[in-house]
Chains A and B, each alone.
Chain A
Amino acid sequence: MNVALAILWKDLVTEWRSRDRVVAMAVFSFLVVVVLHFALPARDADEARRLAPGLLWVAYIFAALLGLNRAFALELENEALAGLALAPADRGWVFLGKAAANFVILGAVQAITAAVFALAFDVDLASIAPSLVLVVALGSLGICAVGTLLGAVSVRTRYREVMLPLLLLPLLVPVLLAAVDATAGLLETGTLRWRPIQLLIVTDAIFLIVSFTSFEYVLDE
């Protein structure tokens, strides 16, 4: 557990000092929202509400892909990833520390993106904020769990920038379906749908357990 906390601290301190990941992700998701805004010019309030859940999660996924790719690129400098692999702890804790840092950084970007999205698409996200935070947190947990595992796998491949989306996006289908469904329910009725939340919890649990247990082998050379 201490290893996970140490890595979380290290990732957040280095990100706070450089801010390269947060800035890149925030700018990128802002641009995605702007592009989507102009790509769908003729719409009314109902149409915006209907499309909003999917569009919001498209922006989140693109931001996450950018951030997850950078998360392990940081560890390539001075071969720091090998330094983590040498820790005499279950390497699952290394995974958990990296995933937790990714979750926090992605969360910060998602908050900024949501504010921009609400303005661009004239959608009231403030009134459903507590429930939306729960849905986004559950969706992000799944994205960060499997994304951290695959980020570690792809970082040592020649085409890592392409490899991560190729490996990650198919696995994220259940998370996206459930997250978009839950967000749509919130925007339509203001209440949480239980079935997509159940699916998110189950998928998150599977991704976390598989990633935690398989990280020992992922860090081997």
Chain B
Amino acid sequence: MSVGASAPPPAIAAQGLAKRFGPVVALAGVDFAVPAGRVLAVLGPNGAGKSTLLRILAGLTRPSAGRVAMGTGAAEAGDRRHGRGRVGYVGHATFLYPNLTARENLVFAGRLYGVADPHARAAALLAEQGLEPIAERTAGSFSRGQAQRLAIARGLVHDPPVVLLDEPFTGLDPTSADRLAARLRSLAGSGRAVVLVTHDLAQAAALGDRALLLVRGRIAFDSGAVRAEAAALETAWREATAA
């Protein structure tokens, strides 16, 4: 989505992002910007560089080239700490401690992020995710779906203005998936910028205000300012992956 001169600064912007792991090129010059209140869906086959892109945006991995800008400040070198504080990241792994209860995991995450009242915040998130009845159980005893819901709560513990989600629907039952989809819409509705990595074309079309298709570290398709239809995404996917 192009941002004009009069438009507010994007909540998160990638400029010329590149990442190499030795001889392997994971990302080769990726540019985009996500304004507040929008959902960007990132699609791509396995090994396309989607997760690497998200980890760079989250501040976990340094790019080989390019920069990430957060709001009005650069989060590249000068203030990576500031950037980490503005991002809520839900990755493939849950980041949970199996010996801590669900509540303790959230309170601990709240303390890491300097949340003013981590206990109250944990209680609110547990209620929101429907985890209250099992809040005192250790995370190690959770099913995949329960752990995923707790991981999503953990990612939102500091109420971040930018939310990055890597395949967040994995392991969720239909009810939880619907609840998460509604939550993503409400996050965007309340002014958060959301970057959603998914393999599901229909999901990307339904949730994304913009869709990017990554293939071998490059943007192979960009729906731009127009919400992409599932059929258009499928065509773009077939063409890009066949090339």
A interface residue numbers (CB < 8 A to B): 2-3, 5-7, 9-10, 13-14, 17-18, 74, 77-80, 82-90, 220-221
Which residue on B lies nearest to A80, using beta carbons?
B95
Interface residues of B in 94-108 (CB under 8 A from A): 94-100, 104, 108
**When chains A and B are docked, how far (Å) is the Cα of A6 from the Cα of B61?**
24
* With A14-B97, A78-B96: A86-B84 Cβ-Cβ less than 8 Å: yes
A-contact 0/1 string along B103-126, CB 8 Å cutoff:
010001101111000000000000
**When chains A and B are docked, how far (Å) is the Cα of A140 from the Cα of B92?**
37
- Interface residue B58 (Cβ < 8 Å from any Cβ of A): yes
- Of the four ranges (under 10, 10 to 19, 20 to 34, 35 or more), the interface on chain B belongs to 20 to 34
Q: Tell me if A2 and B114 are in contact (CB < 8 A).
A: yes
Task: Tally the A-B contacts, defined by beta carbons under 8 Å.
Answer: 81
**When chains A and B are docked, how far (Å) is the Cα of A89 from the Cα of B108?**
14
Q: Tell me if B93 and A78 are in contact (CB < 8 A).
A: yes
**Main SS class of interface, A:** helix
Among A13, A77, A84, which residue has its beta carbon within 8 angstroms of that of B104? A13
Q: Tell me if B58 and A2 are in contact (CB < 8 A).
A: no
* With A2-B111, A220-B62: A87-B84 Cβ-Cβ less than 8 Å: yes
Q: Tell me if A84 and B112 are in contact (CB < 8 A).
A: yes
Chain B residues near A2: list those with CB within 8 A: 111, 114
Which residue on A lies nearest to B56, using beta carbons?
A221
Among B58, B59, B99, which residue has its beta carbon within 8 angstroms of that of A18? B99
- Interface residue B20 (Cβ < 8 Å from any Cβ of A): no
* With A2-B114, A86-B59, A221-B60: A77-B81 Cβ-Cβ less than 8 Å: no
